[in-house]
Structure 1
Amino acid sequence: MNLRKPLLAVAVAATLPVICPTANAAAELMAAPVNQASPQESASLVAKLTALDSERGLSADNSFRISSQHPGVVGQKITRVQHTYKGLRVFGSESVVVTNTAGDIVSESVSDRRAGLAGNQSVVNGTKGDGVAPALKDLTPSLSSGDAIALVVKQVAPSGVHRWAPQAELLIWPVVKSVRVASALNKSEAALNALDLEDVVDHYELAYYVQTRMADKGKVVYHDTIVNAKTGAIIAQWKSLQTVVGTGNSQYNGSVPINTTLSGSTYKMLDATRGTGGVYGGMAITNANHSSADSPNAGSIYTNSTNTWGDGKQYISGGSTTNANGQTAAVNALWGLMNTYDTLKSVLGWQSLDGNNTATYIAAHVDNNYDNAFFDPSCKCMYIGDGSSFTSLGSIDVIGHEMSHGVTDATSNLTYSGESGGLNESNSDIGGEMVEAYARNGGTGTVIPAGNDWMMGKEISKSGQPLRWMWKPSKDGSSPDAWSSTIKNLDVHYSSGPNNRMFYFLSQGSNSSASSEYYSKYLTKSPAAMTGIGNDKAYRIWFKAATTKFTASTNYADARTKVLAAAQELYGVGSKEAIAVQRAYAAINVGTDIDEAGGTGGVSISTQPANVSVAAGATASFSVGATGGTAPYSYKWYRNGAAISGATSATYSLTAQTADNGATFYAIVSDASSPAKTATSNSATLTVGGGGGTGTERVTNGGFESGTTGWGGTTGVIGNYSGQTAYEGTKFAWLGGNGKAATETLTQSVAIPSAATSASLSFALHIDTAETDNVAYDKLVVTVKNSSGTVLGTLATYTNLNAASGYQVRTFNLLPYKGQTVTLSFAMTEDSALQTSFVVDKVSLITQ
């Protein structure tokens, strides 16, 4: 029984010269929810990427389509960008672009499959584009999208019904083949290492990417299918279903605290403290009440007259789903969901599944005696059955596994076939084990401790045999322990095995005895038993690589490259952590083994740069010191993640201006060895004061404490209203929140002196919404206008898609408007249903 999506491509790495590692790994966290880019910001990023394409020799027929954005590490945003050719997406060809707060590109992780398309005459990531693959010249389909959908339905479920509307996208499908690198031409098949093969595009097909989400004959039938748009032939196909404070009596964890909501005299299994928006406005557990697994209905949120839930026992088949026995499955689910959320946020800074703190839910009691659990990306939710061969499928590692599918869905979206599908499944097993470790040790703190059993789903097994063994995958009789050239042909539930073993070795180490289950014949260097780095470091490295570097087509070889890069950025080139990554992958036949000797980092930072506070016009200096390695050292300073030209000394100084306020600086120190060993300092922050107190506030009553004074427009939005809170003081401006068609505007006229050397506008903004679709229904537009009402510039547009917990401070440079009296405008429009609130406070315009 497979319990993983049911739980039960070539990826060529390319980085920009300005790639900059982040320091202070032990404290590095993922950033807070990010704002989706404005059209202007998106256009700017596409222009920058297009310029890079031009340098690579790609023709003007190539472009980019932004597909998603999510947090990176603090101070960075991740934008996932699809590659297009003549307006059509090239499947599996994409860039993961890391930008800093200034919008500069810090790095670009590329999976590029465009080299053979007509007009791409130069080298793309080391592969010559001209003649690599026959050009695809005819982009006119012979079939309609409806024809393609009908062909797929007839093939996968002719009598089925659609749970979700089918979709068909016309695109370019690169047909990929594996070839040996030059150094491996004479190797036997059995001797091949993952790095001995590379995937290349053999040719291209015009195709439809058809997604069908159906129910048929008592089961859910989810498929992704590639259909030739000329002939109707099915080129490729893969399954896509993603599977395996009150008091609750949990079946697997005893009496546990669970967060519920009191509504009148009734308690609901709704945790409003974790996540926002979504279907229920918080993390929720619903009662599917035996709704059929072929088309499950989530049902209603669990309710109870008291705040004590469940009896801690396996559900009695045929019994009530709402009495104490029926509630136990819901307790299991909520406890697992809470701990998954807390593991990601408290340890990594990642909020909910998508990083943007969107709430999700779990539906318990699906079907009758149902031996499965699955994550459905269409609703971003999870369903769990009561079990037959298994007990209730709500154990902590199973919940963590399924929710980790949600993280993959929101980030790399690893294609669920071949090696990338195996990595998709492995990521969920890793997530399940780390959530288990965190929960078993009290579910608190900022690190992942030891404490998991490294056996997926052991608690739900009636036989005592787990679904998978992380340290020895082959114990299940189907999963391999190491990579081979045929692994891509396996079901993804089994091709995940080697990466599971890699992660176990990375965390716990191996054994040198050939008779041990923890032994690998591929570890040939010293010591024969590699040293692990523990759960916490191993998970930080893996999570950073999986969310900020992996593309949808990442395979085992590419994963090694990107996991190693993450380790080097977190802990340094040559560090024991980076060496452990190389050894752990070598242990599964991905890359060659290396000695552990010398894995101390070589160079270490002895003096960290300190935070600096100065007045505008004064000199600010940052210094770094290093020890170890081979002298002399070289230095490179970075500002907000971007390299500073000419800053190559141990000390960097600048004349501070008001616009520098809040900038961060760090240094990378390299020694004189070959290859050079490096270390990265902590970041230091520059605070710039008013230069003798000459800064002038131009906004009147920006905190709204004097009511409507200074403000025009829809001033009734100003006040102290129940349901929202102020950023500072007691009053604020609440635009929106009506749940019906409405338009509201706040304006204020301000004068910016012609002699101003800086003009910084800032305001605090909180957005919450009841909207659930991924559509921008409601918006707030911030503009600068002249006295006639003509818009001089649009500073930002915010929508219901930008909802996030708490206030976020927004800052804009208004110096281009110096010498003018301009009007600041906050204009809100809300559609006819479901509220979105835009709460504004502490509006300030400081000029120098």
Structure 2
Amino acid sequence: MSRKNALAAAVAAALTLGTVTVAATQSTAAASGSSARPGAGFRAMTADARGEAIRTADREAAAVARSLGLGADERLVAKDVLFDTDGARHVRYDRTYRGLPVIGGDLVVHYGKDGRSTGSDQAHQGAIRMAGTAPKLTAADASAAAVKHAKHVKNARTDSSDSSALVVYAVGKVPVLAYRSTVTGEGETGPASREAVIVDAASGAPLDQYELHQGITGTGNGVTVGQVSIETTQSGSGYTLTDAAHGSTVVYDSYNSPQSNPKQNARTFSKTTNTWGTGTTSSRESAAVDASYGLAKTWDFYQSTFNRSGIRNDGRGAPAYVHVDSSLLNAFYDDDCFCMFFGDGSSQNSNTPVTALDVAGHEMSHGVTAATANLNYSGESGGLNEATSDIFGTMVEFYANNSSDPGDYYIGEKLNMPNGYMRRMDNPSVDGNSLSCYSSGAGSVDVHYSSGIANHFFYLAAEGTGAKTIGGRSHNGTTCNNDTFTGIGRDKAAAVWYRALTTYMTSTTNYAGARTATLQAAADLYGANSQERYLVSKAWAAVSVGTALPDPGTGSPSPSPSGSTSPSPSPSPSSSGSPNPGNALTNGAFEQGTAGWTQSDNDITNSTLQPAHGGSWYAWMMGYGTSAVESLSQSNIAVPASGSPKLTFWLKVSTQESGSTAYDTLKVKVNGATLATYSNANASAGYVQKTVDLSAYKGQSVKLEFAGTEDAYLATVFLIDDVSIG
């Protein structure tokens, strides 16, 4: 367990909440036995039972915060509670600091069926420590900076005096006082697109930006579902498109209200007969039929598969608005109003309404993500957010089993797009924009395109490799490492993803974290030594995220890659991302994330709050300003048997300390022996190359460790990059 202060563990060990003992571990919950669990392993809950569970979690919040070593100025607010079928409990909390919302402060605490904590997953590890919450910039200054730095909209502007609010931005290792501003302008979702811009409250420097309308870019034809049964409500002598069987979901006609205010002219669909639409766009009801049907099927999919009752698992339906704006090539979910909006398309897709089945599933799933992991809509977490909606939108299509729109792994294939689809999960890069394989630059790609990595993973996990026809369409499960293997089936793959999303992912989860979360979910559902977990790891390796686990030897083993009986590991990239065959280390430049390394904390990062020496990834150790220790290591390194082997790496040290006394240290250890020590006294303006002689270890297999120690006062940051042994 990594520590953020020396007191946290002692407090955690002693704290008892009635019959619940909380331990401040920072790893995911332990895997269960090998027996498979149905669905994603969760039991159904009534709205009343869920409400009481959340109230119980709120009553426990203060004690949980203390047990995790959070500070006196921090508060936890219960967001959701899930129960496994065996009684184990998973409580998701949001966090505040001195009353300010903490972006990246969310966490999940896991309890076994005996009520004792088995671990936690935290978007930001440990306590929030800041000098104060008095900003140097005014809200008006922040709004002006946000307008300047907006990158998702053109001609950005702020629409109100309260468009900027103070927050704590804790996505990086060191929390920053910031403003979260909302700007409006011309963007992907139309002339009134909205973007969140987060700027430093002291300097106005941009920290993050992301779209607020988390929607699918494209359109649907509005008559894709054919003749279907939909749920309506009788009111007097007439009927309305109110679906009482699905949380009283209401579909409204926006009457082309502007995107900035889709409810402006909205009215209910009502008529004296209970027959709706004509199957063509000449009737405004046709798009509403598609939307109503799609949202109902999405609700039923989550209910029957995962025991989830609606977007927020509270039995409430989100209102939906069709015919939004004019020539709007989009549909989107907005968590601020808990509602969904569907445009009518434009000349680019023959004015086809964006109300196809997988679109409805996609948008409603954005709400599920917001209610659970709440993945930040930027960087790698933004790609995972989009992929989650593609994954479950696709699963809704399979679940509906509609002959007019059979299930497949094409996204938006019924949207009348010029190339016949928007995205393909089996081969994402075929569209010319989406990523099929992970690389260090994935976090800087538009989230609709970086989502391709997770989409590709999901397809391979579900269906495996090779060519096949699904839903009447050609699919080809190619990989990034030339591996071949079978899939675990889409139902099992969906269960793994849903459990990972709702139980282990947090707002800052990246691709490496998603791999960890899904492997844990697969272990929970099917066993730590199951073929399912093994094949999940194979699917991640096939999209260049981590390496495959050893074959547990149960069930049918996966065939080896063609042309080789034992594939060689990929060489570690150099700082530029190109192969470096002379490096005995795996992933010495960190450009493959955590691959090859064991870390006590989330040290390996591509955060823009600190610079990398080369590429985008590096290791950020220490920097807490309180007593802490950290370890970053790699084992089984074959030191060359000839010549003069050396360890070389680049180190940047920045500190709040002064003088030459070593208060905070970073030690380089080989097989436990300290070979070099660096400290706050080695502070430098940039990276400096360091060399350590390894002649004493010629021909040996060794463990390399970077061990950091920080005292109780002032912070020192050690940045490490481009590590090599040769």
Query: Taking structure 1 as the reference length, what is the TM-score of the superposition?
Result: 0.56
- Identify the residue that residue 273 of structure 2 maps to in structure 1: 306
Per the alignment, residue 548 of structure 2 pairs with 593
Alpha carbons 2:31, 2:520 under 8 Å: kept: no
Q: Deviations over 1:105-133 (max 9, x none)?
A: 34412233458x76xxxxxxxxxxxxxxx
Partner of 1:608: none
* Cα 1:587–1:41 shift into 2, 3 Å: closer
Partner residue in 1 for 2:230:
258
> Aligned match of 1:228 in 200, 213, 231?
200
The secondary structure found in structure 2 opposite 1:35 is helix
Q: Pairwise mapping of residues 126-275 of structure 1 onto structure 2 (< 5 A)? A: 136-149=130-143, 151-152=145-146, 160=157, 162=159, 166-173=163-170, 176=172, 201=173, 203-212=174-183, 219-244=191-216, 251-275=223-247
Change in CA separation of 1:40 and 1:337 when aligned onto 2, cut-off 3 Å: closer
Q: Which residue, 477, 488, 492 being the options, matches 1:537?
A: 492
- Matched residues in 1 for 2:163 and 2:222: separation? 39
Instruction: Say if 1:571 and 1:101 are closer, same or farther in 2 by CA, change over 3 A.
Output: closer
One-letter amino acid matched to 1:73? D
Deviation of residue 164 (structure 1)? 11
Correspondence 1:325-724 to 2 at 5 A: 325-388=283-346, 389-390=348-349, 391-440=352-401, 452-511=407-466, 517-523=476-482, 528-594=483-549, 596=551, 598-600=553-555
| 1:740-761: CA deviation from partner (whole Å, max 9, x where unpaired) | xxxxxxxxxxxxxxxxxxxxxx
8 Å contact from structure 1 (residues 82, 95) kept in 2 = yes
Alignment partner of 1:293: what SS? Answer: coil
In structure 2, the residue corresponding to 1:496 is in which secondary structure?
A: helix
| Equivalent of residue 50 in structure 1, options 66, 69, 72 | 66
2: distance between equivalents of 1:42 and 1:113? 20
The answer for the alignment partner of 1:674 in structure 2 is none
1:163-219 Cα shifts (integer Å, max 9, x gaps): 996351332445x4xxxxxxxxxxxxxxxxxxxxxxxx3x55332233456799962
Distance 1:16 1:563 in 2: 11
Q: Secondary structure, in 3 states, of the residue corresponding to 1:25?
A: coil
- How far apart, in 1, do the equivalents of 2:149 and 2:366 lie? 27
1:31 aligns with 2:47: no
| Higher mean displacement: 158-167 or 355-364 | 158-167
**How far, CA to CA, are the matches of 1:26 and 1:560 in structure 2?**
21
2:249 to 273, 283, 286: 283
Residue 303 of structure 1, CA deviation: 0.9
- Listed one character per residue, the Cα deviations across residues 32-65 of structure 1 (whole Å, up to 9, x for unaligned) are 1411567775243431342242xxxx7x457442
Separation in structure 2 between the aligned mates of residue 452 and residue 342 of structure 1, nearest angstrom? 16
Q: Counterpart in 2 of 1:773?
A: none
Q: Is the 8 A contact 1:219 1:295 kept in 2?
A: no
Alpha-carbon deviations, 1:488-512, whole Å to 9, x = none?
A: 1101111100110000001100139
**Rounded Cα–Cα distance in structure 2 between residues aligned with 1:310 and 1:338:** 17
Once structures 1 and 2 are overlaid, which stretch shifts more, 42-51 or 285-294? 42-51
Alpha-carbon separation, structure 2, partners of 1:456 and 1:142: 46
Q: Using a 3 Å threshold, how does the CA distance of structure 1 residues 91 and 382 change in structure 2: closer, same or farther?
A: closer
Provide the rounded CA distance (Å) in 2 between the counterparts of 1:494 and 1:158: 24
Q: Distance in 1 between matches of 2:461 and 2:315?
A: 29
Does structure 1 conserve the Cα–Cα contact (< 8 Å) formed by 2:61 and 2:78? no
Is the CA contact 1:411–1:547 (under 8 Å) kept in the aligned structure 2?
Answer: yes
Greater strand proportion: 1
Change in Cα spacing, 1:451 to 1:30, as seen in structure 2 (3 Å) is farther
How much does 1:297 deviate? Answer: 1.9
| 1:416-466 Cα deviation digits (max 9, x unpaired) | 1100000000000001100000112589xxxxxx95121000101243520
Query: In the alignment, what sits opposite 2:611?
Result: none
3-state SS in 1 of match to 2:297: helix
Give the deviation of 1:100 after TM superposition: 6.5
Structure 2 residues without counterparts, runs of 5 or longer:
1-23, 469-474, 558-726
Q: Distance in 2 between matches of 1:553 and 1:210?
A: 19
Report how far residue 295 of structure 1 moved: 2.8
Q: TM-score, normalised by structure 2?
A: 0.64
The SS at the match of 1:504 is: helix
Matched, 1:111 2:123: yes
Letter in 2 for 1:484: S
Q: Distance in 2 between matches of 1:438 and 1:163?
A: 43
Distance 1:601 1:590 in 2: 23
Q: Evaluate the alpha carbon distance shift between residue 508 and residue 158 of structure 1 in structure 2; reply closer, same or farther with a 3 A threshold.
A: closer
Over the residues paired in the alignment, what is the CA RMSD in angstroms? 3.4
Contact 2:210 2:378 in 1 (8 A): yes
> 1:459-494 deviations in whole A, cap 9, x for unaligned?
012435200010000011011111000111101111
Q: What is the CA distance between 1:237 and its match in structure 2?
A: 2.0
Identify if the C-alpha distance between structure 1 residues 270 and 231 changes in structure 2 by more than 3 Å, giving closer, same or farther. Answer: same
Q: Deviations 1:72-120 (Å, cap 9, x if unpaired)?
A: 43445543234566666553233212346886534412233458x76xx
Counterpart-to-counterpart distance in 2, 1:349 and 1:105:
24
Q: For residue 63 of structure 2, what is the amino acid of its counterpart?
A: A
Contact 1:19/1:107 (CA < 8 Å) preserved in 2?
A: no
User: CA–CA distance in 2 between the matches of 1:155 and 1:214?
Assistant: 13
**Structure 1: how far apart are the matches of 2:100 and 2:556?**
46
Contact 1:88 1:172 survives alignment (8 Å):
no
For residue 342 of structure 2, give the secondary structure of its aligned residue in structure 1.
Answer: strand
Q: State the Cα deviation string for residues 201-253 of structure 1 (Å, max 9, x = none).
A: 3x553322334567999622322222221233333322221112xxxx97112
C-alpha contact 1:260 1:267 (8 A) present in aligned 2:
yes
Partner of 1:65: 76
Alpha-carbon distance between aligned partners in 2 of 1:164 and 1:354, rounded to the nearest angstrom: 31
Q: Is the 8 A contact 1:145 1:170 kept in 2?
A: no
1:308 CA displacement: 1.0
- Contact 1:170/1:207, CA 8 A, preserved across alignment: yes
Name the CA shift for 1:336/1:38 in 2 (closer, same or farther; >3 Å).
Answer: closer
Shift of 1:597: 6.3
Asked if the contact 2:208–2:378 (Cα under 8 Å) also holds between the matched residues in 1, the reply is no
Residue 665 of structure 1 corresponds to none
Q: Partner residue of 2:16?
A: none
Q: 1:240 to 1:76 in 2, by over 3 A?
A: farther
1:164 and 1:214 in contact (8 A); partners too: no
> Which of 1 and 2 has greater Rg?
1
Q: Where do 1:805-844 residues align within 5 Å?
A: none
- Secondary structure at the counterpart of residue 501 of structure 1: helix
- What's the CA shift string for 1:136-181, capped at 9, x where partnerless? 535432224454345435765878564996351332445x4xxxxx
Residue type of the partner of 2:92? R
User: How many angstroms apart in 2 are the aligned matches of 1:49 and 1:601?
Assistant: 45
- Tell whether the 8 Å contact from 1:70 to 1:355 is kept in structure 2 after alignment: no
SS where residue 477 of structure 2 aligns? Answer: coil
